[in-house]
Structure 1
């Protein structure tokens, strides 16, 4: 595995792969890798001849009172995990490589960025869309891999890729969960033992609504009520919404198309998000 820090060096390293039409898979991350990230790497290696992973704690997707300064970081551990997973190139640019001093151009996403997390984190998806677009231009992959846990991010990135005519296939990999159902995320390390137990209410709520859907319930309000009953142990419920899985618009009753039940809430000082897809 080669570790690369500049876009120019990365383009040189990937030149032979492009010349020989070897498919390039790309997994963008903010580091502090876990099994969810490694599942994306595994998916890339199964589909592509070359796998690139990026690690960048992207400053433009954090709000002024969010956790940019304390976001989990352990680069040497991430390097080891990537090497063991068979990554070919680890792209680890400094933020100044992505945003030089005179940087002044951003990608502004549309309606997909407004509901759910977008309503509570103004500017977040602008930062996501901008950094992903820049990374796509630097890596120039054939396929990029994202996790379903970040459903809204996946929708924004997929729409951006289509709208800007980027020749990249977007693959969404199912959420990876710990043994007890908690969705894997880097921020789980913020939770103490007691908070982690209470955080399980989020996945239990989603699974309860999913079970009711499989049993035949098609009223989104009733499914939401079932889920909310399980969420009493979290400190603050930011939202619980059932939306169309692709447009993120509110799902009508009865549910007839692909839908997702999405949750965001706080346990202690940690904001957690999760979702399940409701399929017939």
Structure 2
């Protein structure tokens, strides 16, 4: 497994290949990340994983400095998956000067849900992903980038960016990996205390219940989406959570779902803080 630090080194390493399969990460890798790498391997002729904690997508009060960095363990895990190249730039390699040129996504998609509670987040994501894409796919005819479906809105934003810039990149969605109790795997799960970890499965359960109640109310001709979502929020608060949103949206554009939208086209999304840890999850239905 080759480890490179700079963009010129990465481009040189990729010059002999024609179709990179790329998995961008911020490190602290878990089984969810590794499943994306395994999915990526048959999709290209070289598998590239980036490890870079991107300052641009953290708000001032968020956990950039304390975000877990587990370099040696990450490399061991990637070797075991058969990763070919790890791109691990320093901040000075990615941003040798202040990044004043940025990619601003469509606010109709990026300023709702996560974007409402984390202003500027998707601008930071799009800017670093575009820069990583240009580093990985520069001079290549085409390639594949693999993103996890747990970050549902992010996946949609990246797909729209790729489409509108006509990038020769196929965006592949990797299914969310879950623990046995249903908790979506996340690098931030390690922040949870043992008691919080036992409680954390309630977020996935709340989304499942919201979807079931939404479908039942629609079938009965008595859908009040706002009331159902408020009930879900109240139930999670009663368990000690601080929810930002629990909502049912159309998969196509993440706009609020109505009775005209049939099951099979919808997704329930949620974000909530348990103690000091903010978790997100989603459920297509």
Q: Where on the TM-score scale, by shorter chain, does this alignment land: which range?
A: over 0.9
CA contact (8 A) 2:27 2:53 kept: yes
Summarize the Cα distance change of 1:213–1:242 in structure 2 as closer, same or farther, 3 Å threshold.
Answer: closer
The CA RMSD measured in Å over matched residues stands at 1.8
* Correspondence for 2:283 among 271, 276, 279: 276
Residue of 87, 104, 108 corresponding to 2:104 = 108
- Asked whether 1:159 is paired with 2:160, we answer yes
Q: In the alignment, is the contact (CA less than 8 A) between 2:49 and 2:87 conserved in 1?
A: yes
Q: Is the 8 A contact 1:107 1:130 kept in 2?
A: yes
Give the structure-1-normalised TM-score: 0.92
Deviation at 1:197, TM superposition (A): 1.6
Report if the CA contact (8 A) 1:217-1:223 is conserved.
Answer: no
Aligned residues: 274
Please tell me whether the aligned partners of residues 220 and 255 of structure 1 are also in contact (alpha carbons under 8 angstroms). no
Shift of 1:60: 0.2
SS at match of 1:68: coil
Superposition pairs for residues 44-83 of structure 1, below 5 Å? 44-83=40-79
Once the 2 structures are TM-superposed, how far is the Cα of residue 102 of structure 1 from its aligned partner?
4.3
For residue 49 of structure 1, report the CA deviation from its aligned partner: 2.2
Distance change in 2, residues 1:166/1:227 (3 Å): same
- The CA distance in 2 between the partners of 1:152 and 1:53, in whole Å, is 21
In structure 2, do the counterparts of structure 1 residues 217 and 119 end up closer, same or farther at CA, with 3 Å as the change threshold? same
1:66-118 deviation digits (Å, cap 9, x = unpaired): 00010011100000000001100000001111111243210001121011010
Alignment pair present for 1:123 and 2:124? no
Q: Which runs of 5+ in 1 are unaligned?
A: none
User: Which whole-Å CA distance do the structure 2 matches of 1:119 and 1:60 have between them?
Assistant: 16
3-state secondary structure, aligned to 1:136? helix
Asked if the contact 1:234/1:265 (under 8 Å) is kept, the reply is no
Whether 1:246 and 2:252 are equivalent positions in the alignment is yes
Distance 2:146 2:50 in 1: 12
CA apart distance, 1:155: 0.8
Report the TM-score when normalising by structure 2.
0.91
Measure how far apart 1:211 and its partner are. 4.3
Give the 3 Å change call, closer, same or farther, for CA 159–201 of structure 1 in structure 2. Answer: same
* Distance across 2 between alignment mates of 1:188 and 1:197: 11
Name the structure 2 match of 1:139: 136
Q: Kindly indicate whether residue 27 of structure 2 is the aligned counterpart of residue 31 of structure 1.
A: yes
| Residues 113-262 of structure 1: pairs in structure 2 closer than 5 A | 113-140=110-137, 142-212=143-213, 217=218, 219=223, 221=225, 224=229, 227-228=232-233, 230-231=235-236, 232-256=238-262, 258-262=265-269
CA distance in 1, matches of 2:224, 2:267: 10
Q: What per-residue deviation string (whole Å, max 9, x for no partner) do you get for residues 195-226 of structure 1?
A: 11221110111222344567685546275367
Q: Deviations over 1:227-260 (max 9, x none)?
A: 4465231420111111111211111124326111
In 1, are the aligned partners of 2:144 and 2:172 still within 8 Å (CA)?
A: yes
- The farther-off stretch of 254-263 and 244-253 is 254-263
Q: CA deviation at 1:10?
A: 0.6
